[in-house]
Amino acid sequence: TAAFVGLNVCLSASRTAKNAGTYAVTPSGTDANYNLSFVDGALVINKASATVTANSGTVTYNGANQTVSGFTASGLVGGETEAALTGVSASRTAKNAGSYVITPNGLTSANYTVSFVDGTLTINPAALNAIVASLTGSTSKVYDGSSAATLTPGNFSLSGFVSGEGA
């Protein structure tokens, strides 16, 4: 809001806005001695910069699907929270040991220029701390001049794997 009052002149121009954009500002006024002409001005509110970072997580392989979802946002203004960024999503599901990129996406915001930062889902290998090899049945051979011996599945068993898995 701008106002000027002097001698016989009374001028004013006012505009209120909250969201990013360009808004016309139209002056007005009167003067007893002059014919006034006015030129509109503009109120320009630029977009703020915000960064969306996908959440990351680390788990140990357990044979089941693992999911990391969600994000954090920085650069939000005026007390706004992540709720102001409707349409943003970031999620990744994987089962096997490895490193998986979580790419956030979505949202075109009227008030923010949004940049995205990837997160990571890391599934570490499970420790096989209890592999037990039991030899069963006939495990001997007759000397034949070689060092090779063949075991069949009936001659051994393994245990200690994640539930539902085996050798």
How confident is the model over 94-113, as pLDDT tens digits? 999 999 999 999 877 889 99
Radius of gyration of the chain (CA): 35
What pLDDT was estimated at residue 141?
72
pTM of the prediction? Answer: 0.69
Alpha-helical runs (H) found in the chain: none
Structure tokens, 166: 């085996």
Query: How does pLDDT run across 14-48, given as a tens digit for each residue?
Result: 889 999 999 999 998 888 888 888 899 999 999 99
With CA atoms as reference, report the closest residue to 67 among 141, 18, 122. 122
Question: For 136-163, b where at least 16 C-beta lie within 10 A, e where not — what string?
Answer: eeeeeeeeeeeeeeeeeeeeeeeeeeee
